Amino acid sequence: MDLQLTDKVFLVTGGARGLGRATADVLVAEGARVVLSGRSQDSLDAAVADLDAVAGRRASVAVVADNADPGTPSRLLAVADETWGRLDGAMISVGGPPKGPVSAITDEQWVAAFESVFLGAVRLAREVGAALTDGGSLGLVLSSSVRSPLPEMAISNGLRPGLAMVAKTLADELGPRGVRVNGLLPGRIATDRVAELDATTGDPEGARRAAEATIPLGRYGEPEEFGRVAAFVLSPAASFLTGVMLPVDGGLLRTL
């Protein structure tokens, strides 16, 4: 299938590693160009070098930026315009909040996570969505916690469902302009973040085996498997798909 991504331009926040990077890899492989953001200059530089080398062309540019910074959307939009003169969409990946139960999460942790995970994502979606024209596409990397709570992940359980409803509402608002908005709900994907969560149990291998036992496909997903789904959802090939919260979880979620 031709995803019709040649020369299109996408913002990918959290694009230096994890699911953001996996999305950028597939977008670039399909002919698109990307503006990556993240908080580490070194990891962003490495990602840009890798992406450009694989593409055999200038396919990426990076901006050190924090989603919690109110100035981040305008900076990313400006770089896309200055570098390539267009913008076709964005994949907004907001990272993972601290692990812990409701009873142990402090007010300060809730506020910090709200600023970055929730408000930062809403601000990016609002500002980037306003800049997109007919055919534009927004994606938000959320979590399976949108539909079912995860043990010891109180902040994710509290904030991700709200983000999903914001995305659904924004799809209604931007639909008449021909702009699509969707959410992706990753389950257990073999990223550094998931490895870190497994390690917090004190028995990472045991934690992984226990998690895999709850997944009908019997394994963790690979980042590139998520990236392929994300690139499709952003692409013109998915032109009649909007307001959808799409699990990418190997069957983990038991809800409809």
Has residue 208 been placed in a domain? no
Has residue 127 been placed in a domain? yes
β-pair partners for 63: 37
Has residue 255 been placed in a domain? no
Has residue 145 been placed in a domain? yes
Structure confidence at residue 128 (pLDDT)? 98
Has residue 45 been placed in a domain? yes
> 132: Cβ–Cβ under 8 A, 6 or more apart, which residues?
87, 88, 89, 138, 174, 177, 179
Burial (Cβ within 10 Å: 0-12, 13-18, ≥19) of residue 241: middle
DSSP state of 115: I
Structure confidence at residue 120 (pLDDT)? 96
Residue 126 tokens, joined = 């609002």
Phi-psi sector, 148: left (phi>0), alpha (psi -120 to 50), beta: beta
Has residue 202 been placed in a domain? no
CA 176, CA 188: separation in Å to the nearest integer? 35
Q: Within 10 A of 128 (CB to CB), how many other CB atoms are there?
A: 23
Structure confidence at residue 43 (pLDDT)? 96
Has residue 206 been placed in a domain? no
CA 249, CA 246: separation in Å to the nearest integer? 9
DSSP state of 98: P
Structure confidence at residue 256 (pLDDT)? 85
CA 40, CA 23: separation in Å to the nearest integer? 18
CA 55, CA 70: separation in Å to the nearest integer? 32
**Among the listed residues 31, 25, 124, the one whose alpha carbon sits nearest the alpha carbon of residue 76:** 124
CATH of the domain at 141: 3.40.50.720
Q: Within 10 A of 182 (CB to CB), how many other CB atoms are there?
A: 21
Per the structure, the count of domains in the chain is 1
Computed over its alpha carbons, how large is the radius of gyration of the chain? 17
Structure confidence at residue 136 (pLDDT)? 98
Question: pLDDT 10s digit of each residue in the chain, 256 long?
Answer: 899 999 999 999 999 999 999 999 999 999 999 999 999 999 999 999 999 999 999 999 999 999 999 999 999 999 999 999 999 999 999 878 889 999 999 999 999 999 999 999 999 999 999 999 999 999 999 999 999 999 999 999 999 999 999 999 999 999 999 999 999 999 999 999 999 999 999 999 999 999 999 999 999 999 999 999 999 999 999 999 999 999 999 999 999 8
Q: Within 10 A of 200 (CB to CB), how many other CB atoms are there?
A: 11
CA 168, CA 3: separation in Å to the nearest integer? 23
The CA-to-CA distance between both ends of the chain, in Å, stands at 27
Tell me the whole-structure pTM to 2 decimals: 0.96
Question: Which residues span the domain enclosing 38?
Answer: 9-187+226-248
Has residue 194 been placed in a domain? no
Phi, psi (deg, nearest 5) at residue 61:
-145, 150
